[in-house]
Amino acid sequence: MEFNFEALEDRRFQRLCQSLLTSEFPDLQCFPLGQADGGRDATSGRFGNGVLVFQIKFTASSPKKSRSQWIKEVVNGERDKVIELANRGAQRYILITNIPGTGSLDSGSIDAADTALDELPIPAEVWWRDDILRRLDRHPELKWRFIEGAGGTDILTYLLNNVLTEDADRRKNAVRAFLTDQLSHDAQIRFRQISFNNDLLSLFVDPALSRSDAPDSYLRDASYRDSRLTIRAAAFFLSLEEGNILLEGGPGQGKSTITQFVCQMYRLHLLGDADSKHDAITKYESVAVKLPLRVDLRDYAAWLEGLNPFDQTQNKAQKSLEAFLAALISFHAGGVDFSVADLHATFKATPVFLALDGLDEVGEQERRQEVVNQVTRGVSRLRANAMSLTVLVTSRPTAHTQSASFSERSYLRLKVLPLSKEQATEFGKKWIAVNNIPRQEAKDVLNLLTHKMSLPHLQQLSRNPMQLTILLNLVRAQGSSLPDQRTNLYADYLKIFLDRESEKNDQIRDNRNLFESLHEYVALRIHIEAEIGIHDGRVPLDAFKATVADYLKHECRPDFSFGELERGVFERLGFLVSRTEGLVEFEVQPLREFLAAKHLYRNAAFSNIGSVKAGTISDRFDAIAGNPYWLNVTRFFAGFFERGQLPLILERLRELDDSPLYSNTTYTRGLCSCLARDYVFSHGQRTFTDAVKYVLEQFDTLARYSLATVDVSRMFDEPLDLPKTFPESPIVDAALAASKNSNISLDRLSNVIFLNGDLTLLLNKWRKGWKHFECAPSDWLELGYWLGFLDDSKDLGTGILIPKETPLESYRLLTTKSLLEKSIQNTALSSKIYKSYFNDPDGFAGSHSALSIIDRALKVAPDYMIESFYRDNHKNPQSFILSEPFPSSTSDLSFLTDEWAGVSSFLSYLKDRLADESLEWFQNVQLCREFLTCAEDSLGVNAMVTLSAVHASPLLSKGGRTRLDVNNWHDLKIWEKSALLYTCRNRKQTWGQILSEGHDHDSLFLVLSMVLLFGSGDVVREHAERLDDLITTLPEVWLSRLTRGIRRSYRTQTWNAQIGSIEHISNLPNLFGLIYSISGERKAHRMANLDVFDEVRLLPWVAAAVVVKSTSLLLNDEKHVPKALDIIARTFARAGDRRVSRLRGMYFSRQAEWLSDSEVTTILDNPNSFPSELALLADTAAFGRLPLRIPPVSSTAEEQGWLTNKV
């Protein structure tokens, strides 16, 4: 079958050609489409050393002129460009086109092209359509990536014909039948009661994702709103070439729907059903197609137990993932023989998207761990032979960190973000359209939905697709009379649904109470049994029949048979379904949890002084509230409480908080906050006030946790996001007061304020200055940045009053794209902003593009010139430096004042050098010196330029002076100083001269950076006291730069010191601490065990570096250093959380399992004595170990007769 290049259009055709060329020319440099590339779409080799130039010409239709005439005109049009390229060193020119060549002797287009090309100054040729097709035959994997070129309706045949040679028809037919059956199976969104029409493609709204370890404040910061932290789920998974992803989201948030949609897209593309064309398919028609396999992990859990979930027979096959997938394909293909060998052949021939849905629904921990282990091994085996494999696992957030999930080293953990208002509105429009609601009614429903979503108490109810659909049904049925509470939302919807069904069915109408109670009883029983592993939430049909019969007997209703209920009730209501033959389950888990909670509340025992009974509301709350598996049931259960019962919740939470398992954790406050967000306390203002006060009792701890890198509050979403029922939230007041606490980072506090405050009111207060904003004066500017107030400040250019206590480093916040232009017009601010930005070793990710390019260049270029890795993978550092394009013209930088003129000149220099493809960067000493000279001349002497010279010093020292004349020291360029210092790194006498000289802060910053990173052990020991003195004399702002600068380096302190040598400097705490902070793991381990840190004499920034290094040693799973915890406890008070947060690396929640029980206890006994990320990990560990230490609810249920008291 012919490959249709024209279906790709020009951009995709160029990408296809570049992909083909890359396989033949590994050093290929690709150029983007639509830019002034000088006649190059790709090059191979280097100018000056022989280079091949490729030019790609795409034509959507055959030329009107003859092909011979067309090719001559193309060559003539490119002649001047080819001549210029030849003058620059091009050795060969290849023109690639989708036009077929004609072979008539002399008169055909192929010969005509050869004649025209002979006139060019270098050898040249044309690759015609047939030339591309033959190369494409050697790379069939590209046909999957550019699937739109396959055309026709039989894409599977086209793609598999040449690769599944043995038993090709049987395998191909099995795959086709499997895809067709799955296409039908996944066409509807689960929970069919929520809409009249649940067509997946028509209703799907692509939710946003973010890294689970991404701070939430970044998601509010405009400078971070890009693909680095937030992405669209379907767009991301459909474009992902390979990888392992763990996707987490709360109940009803659409995790399963995402896997359904992505798999449907792949199926529709592969089956090529022209009648299935849909806007959703058109939107993703350029995806790289994969074979989708979607698995319910409960099925695989049953498989591992020795059962075949597809026919309820004993599973005689192996327990491997491969055997299960082969059986899955065979079952959905109608029983066609499909073996593991067939599976391996298919994986080898096709890219595969493997969706493993519902890890959290495998309830029993040992079974879940076995699933994780077997999937991990199976994926490794499959990937070893697969053409390309993407694995997506979905799960609810879980507190269990020891056995419930996959390694974060192998799986990128993403979370589904709540729907935005725009997405909720988009979903509402789609829901209205698919249900064919009349025009005027549709307008009314949409207007009312928009109004309701603007109300604080209903915003939470519109944040996930399931609840939003329920809300839409209620809006249509009840108008403006909507419930506040999450529990009432479900209750009201089910009432409307049952009212409607009662009108249509006499049996349901006459026995409604019985049927509701039956579903509630079954829901509770299934949930109890699933927790202890009797089943996975799906009950064998015989057991289900026995449960129903038992209930009917207890209710004295022998007039009903199971068959009657099955036909008249179960099928009509659809709450209980049988997706797998022989198994019964609730269609969605939140419905099961709601009904279980309703049964618990409605059937609770009543106890009084004269008749004490077990199983009261209080007893039941106690039993489920502390169990993470029952969290969603607890939320629904609390929502049934009447006004007079609400104080009982706080009473029981305090009692739970006092128990040993929970006393040192944030569990109960997190749960209380969660219940408040569900509006459980909405009809008791006094109780709500008491609930807020209860949460605020641990405010400092919760605030430190609320935005830490590790998402401890995965179970509770954000722990401090409470309903806004006060004009001025007490939480905001507490957050502003806490800003004076250096142990709470301002980005975390700002998130609490953002979630709970009236931003309009707060903005007005902030603009009046720090005294009115009631925060520390030094924090006013930074809080304004994190809250987004700086972007709204219109008077930066005219002299906004910034407190004098504001740290110089904070002025970098005014360099964002939206602020820089107006802020530097303020002469009082301009100089501070310049010094703040260029003296910050970390740079600032949100800065103006002109500044971020310079920042990356100064960081990347030295490494690029030194490290062979870069040369082997990229010829030019452009792709590393240019995360965004250069300003298009000098007019884009016309706002820069004279003080900032160097920015323009250095950018101009960079642009010229990066455009010169003949320039060799690797080990180019002359270029390195030129680069740093221009940087210093343009930007001045600052920390950024100095650190760039420090990192480049091993290269700069080659072929230069080897003797240092200290008399000329102040006349040297920075790069000259760093080169000489590197050359003298082993000379004790020379360093004695250098250290005895008088240095300004810039010079001392260079000298200390060089000696700490490159100085030999002899040099450091010889001059240890002088070095410690110099470190001590540095102002805090410069010590901050030094500490962060040397830690940012990928180099570690390299001298191989014996233990005696280390002890020699152990009485000098600041020198010892800095060397410890940048030492390799082995030496740092030895230094930690010396236990010589003097926290009293440590400077704050050195203490922060010690804390960060000690934390990395503590969280090392292979070489755990228990002594490190004691070092952290002693030194953290000197450092403070804000300094530590500036220095720290990235920690992951899975590292919680590396903390021992005693370490967790030590940290949680006094969490404010440890960094927030570490305290958060300990809290996570405590959460995660709860399921292993608390009895399952089933034991309490049996003791109190929850299932025997069915009334």
What digits encode the pLDDT tens for the residues 955-983? 888 876 666 676 777 788 999 999 999 99
DSSP string, 310-370: TTTEE--S--SHHHHHHHHHHHHTTS----HHHHHHHHHHSEEEEEEE-GGG--SHHHHHH
Average pLDDT of the residues in 2-14: 79
Report CA 54 to chain centroid distance, whole Å. 38
Predicted local distance difference test score (pLDDT) of residue 275: 47
Predicted local distance difference test score (pLDDT) of residue 225: 31
Q: 159-184 in b/e burial notation, b at 16+ Cβ within 10 A?
A: bbeebbeebbeebbbbbbbbbbbbbe
CA dihedral 893, 895, 898, 901 (to 10 degrees): -10
Q: 565-578 in b/e burial notation, b at 16+ Cβ within 10 A?
A: bbebbbeebebbbb
The confidence band for 229, taking pLDDT boundaries of 50, 70 and 90, is very low
Residue owning tokens 């959290």: 360
Residue 793 pLDDT > 60: no
Last residue of a domain, one of 846, 861, 880: 846
Average pLDDT of the residues in 783-809: 72
Nearest alpha-carbon partner for 415 in 262, 265, 254: 254
Same domain, 178 and 315: yes
pLDDT in tens, 699-758: 777 666 654 333 333 445 444 556 665 545 677 888 888 777 767 778 777 877 877 777
Same domain, 320 and 195: yes
Last residue of a domain, one of 109, 139, 169: 139
Residue 896 · residue 824 · CB < 8 Å: yes
Residue 593 lies in a domain: no
pLDDT in tens, 1146-1170: 555 556 777 888 898 898 888 888 9
Predicted local distance difference test score (pLDDT) of residue 161: 56
Residue 997 lies in a domain: no
Same domain, 224 and 354: yes
Residue 880 lies in a domain: yes
Same domain, 911 and 818: no
User: Alpha-carbon distance 431 to 435, whole Å?
Assistant: 6
Same domain, 384 and 441: no
Average pLDDT of the residues in 1114-1118: 73
The residue range of the domain holding 243 is: 158-417
Q: What percent of the chain has pLDDT over 70?
A: 81
Joined together, the tokens standing for residue 116 give 């025209």
Predicted local distance difference test score (pLDDT) of residue 322: 93
Residue 698 lies in a domain: no
Predicted local distance difference test score (pLDDT) of residue 1150: 57
Residue 694 lies in a domain: no
Average pLDDT of the residues in 246-264: 87
pLDDT in tens, 179-203: 888 888 888 876 555 555 578 888 8
Higher-confidence residue of 621 and 224: namely 621
Query: Which helix (H) or strand (E) covers residue 468, if one does?
Result: helix 465-478
Same domain, 861 and 958: yes
Residue positions counted in the chain: 1207
Predicted local distance difference test score (pLDDT) of residue 713: 39
Residue 576 · residue 518 · CB < 8 Å: no
User: CATH number for the domain including 209?
Assistant: 3.40.50.300
Higher-confidence residue of 871 and 847: namely 847
Same domain, 52 and 199: no
Same domain, 194 and 342: yes
pLDDT in tens, 1072-1112: 999 888 888 788 888 888 878 877 889 999 999 999 998 88
Coil vs helix vs strand at 633: helix
Same domain, 356 and 447: no
Last residue of a domain, one of 810, 825, 846: 846
Signed CA dihedral, 935, 940, 944, 949: sign only: positive
Nearest alpha-carbon partner for 404 in 377, 369, 355: 369
pLDDT in tens, 435-478: 888 888 888 888 888 877 776 556 666 777 877 888 888 888 77
Predicted local distance difference test score (pLDDT) of residue 884: 59
Residue owning tokens 């389950």: 585
Same domain, 242 and 357: yes
Joined together, the tokens standing for residue 368 give 């879940």
Residue 798 pLDDT > 50: no
Predicted local distance difference test score (pLDDT) of residue 1067: 85
Residue 374 lies in a domain: yes
Q: What percent of the chain has pLDDT over 90?
A: 16
Predicted local distance difference test score (pLDDT) of residue 707: 41
Higher-confidence residue of 1180 and 956: namely 956
Same domain, 413 and 423: no
Predicted local distance difference test score (pLDDT) of residue 482: 73
Residue 1035 pLDDT > 70: yes
Predicted TM-score (pTM) of this structure: 0.69
Query: Which residues, at least 6 apart from 582, have a Cβ–Cβ distance to it below 8 Å?
Result: 311, 312, 540, 541
Long-range own/partner contacts, residues 1185-1188 (CB < 8 A, 24 or more apart): 1185/402, 1185/1157, 1185/1160, 1186/399, 1186/400, 1186/626, 1186/627, 1186/628, 1186/661, 1186/667, 1187/365, 1187/399, 1187/400, 1187/627, 1187/628, 1187/629, 1188/365, 1188/402
The confidence band for 24, taking pLDDT boundaries of 50, 70 and 90, is confident
Predicted local distance difference test score (pLDDT) of residue 800: 57
Same domain, 281 and 317: yes
pLDDT in tens, 1008-1028: 999 988 888 888 888 999 999
pLDDT in tens, 595-639: 999 999 999 988 666 666 788 999 999 999 999 889 999 999 999
Residue owning tokens 């010279």: 949
Average pLDDT of the residues in 67-77: 84
Query: Which helix (H) or strand (E) covers residue 96, if one does?
Result: strand 90-97
Residue 844 · residue 837 · CB < 8 Å: yes
pLDDT in tens, 637-692: 999 999 999 999 999 999 999 998 888 888 888 889 889 888 898 877 788 888 88
Residue 1004 lies in a domain: no
Give the CA diameter of the chain.
Answer: 113
Residue 927 lies in a domain: yes
Residue 872 pLDDT > 50: no
Predicted local distance difference test score (pLDDT) of residue 876: 62
* CA-to-CA dists, residue 343 to 162, 337, 347, 903, angstroms: 17, 11, 6, 58
Predicted local distance difference test score (pLDDT) of residue 181: 87
Residue 891 pLDDT > 60: no
Look up residue 1061 and give its amino acid: S
Number of domains composing the chain: 5
Residue 541 · residue 582 · CB < 8 Å: yes
User: Alpha-carbon distance 5 to 33, whole Å?
Assistant: 17
At how many degrees (to 10) do helices 699-706 and 746-756 cross? 100
